[in-house]
Structure 1
């Protein structure tokens, strides 16, 4: 027979489960650090790429782009929380790519960045099947003027061309944002796959 204190503990645990913060970006507002963020689908490149992003994130201002990304080949799309500390970027490159070559491109880009800056610390390198597409990614810690930066760089083929995405935040914010950033990457869908799904 279940004891009274066990029953109370069971009820408390059930209540805790009901009031627990959502862990998925598709389950409504989610707490990251001290703030709540609501995610919604955004589309880019003439509605060829779809991805879940925080509703409050805005396009980075041109003057801030030049400071944050001083090289001329800066990302086409930079979505930021406002201060420039947390960014999702997207670039369509004029290089042909198929799913078959995603792994080779991912490893090649990781090796280039390793050689360019040997002080970077690299973590996971992986290729995943996401909504009918192969997405290759690697994550690493790099240094910047204001401290260490956590980076995820990823690649996929969109309409036969290379799509490069990145996520960056201060390394101290990595524990709060890493899982969220990967949820964003795994939310990616392409128009070509959606069009195949509606074909008879």
Structure 2
């Protein structure tokens, strides 16, 4: 599947004249973790997530100079640049890519240059959804939603299943605002594996948090570019 940002960024200019968002579109979704886990201490411990008949270890990660944090499986590793170039051939490939050992499940983040006010995010999400429906080989459109996650972050979610080389792919995109600009996160896995990995995707979305800049330099994993 072609990397989505190539289409998104090329059509970005068409999104300048946006209407004021309707705040009634914003609603909460059921939390899978307690808010107390999402303060500064969350980045000092791992979590166990019950998946099917086993427990999966999740670890806290910070990216983009320590200002964004979230939980992902401990077994996930940064995708090497040479593999990222093959999987995401567009020059607009994500800045941050984590992948499973089989490279069938990917979690990515990409900060954009799109400036946006908080109240404009719902309309922006719907415009993005329209673009995706027009450029992607959609097999099952699962819809959009504005949510407020456990950390209080307003997030636009877009979910769909699209055709891929190795089978249909489940895609979940998270759009949120950081420092006045849109950041796009994505989770993808084979549709056949969705039942197993959906709890991980949900925990990832709920744990996503914008953090104060750290007072010291941090070593970050998952960066595909300097």
Q: TM-score range by the shorter chain?
A: 0.7 to 0.9
* Pick aligned residue for 2:146 from 127, 130, 144: 127
Q: Give the structure 2 partner of residue 138 of structure 1.
A: 158
Q: Give the structure 2 partner of residue 91 of structure 1.
A: 110
Q: Give the structure 1 partner of residue 194 of structure 2.
A: 174
Q: Give the structure 2 partner of residue 68 of structure 1.
A: 87
* Structure 1: gaps of 5 or more residues: 1-22, 195-200
TM-score (norm 2): 0.69
Distance verdict in 2 for CA 1:129–1:143, change over 3 Å: same
Tell which structure's C-alpha radius of gyration is larger. 1
- Following the alignment from structure 2 to structure 1, what is the Cα–Cα distance between the partners of residues 160 and 205? 16
Q: Give the structure 2 partner of residue 191 of structure 1.
A: 211
Shift of 1:193: 10
TM-score (norm 1): 0.77
Matched-pair contact (CA < 8 Å) for 1:37–1:56: no
Matched-pair contact (CA < 8 Å) for 2:33–2:206: no
Q: Give the structure 1 partner of residue 73 of structure 2.
A: 54
Q: Give the structure 2 partner of residue 115 of structure 1.
A: 134
Could you say what secondary structure the match of 1:104 adopts? helix
Matched-pair contact (CA < 8 Å) for 2:70–2:204: yes
Could you say what secondary structure the match of 2:103 adopts? coil
Q: Give the structure 2 partner of residue 38 of structure 1.
A: 57
Shift of 1:63: 2.0
Q: Give the structure 2 partner of residue 6 of structure 1.
A: none
Mapping of residues 71-82 of structure 1, within 5 Å? 71-82=90-101
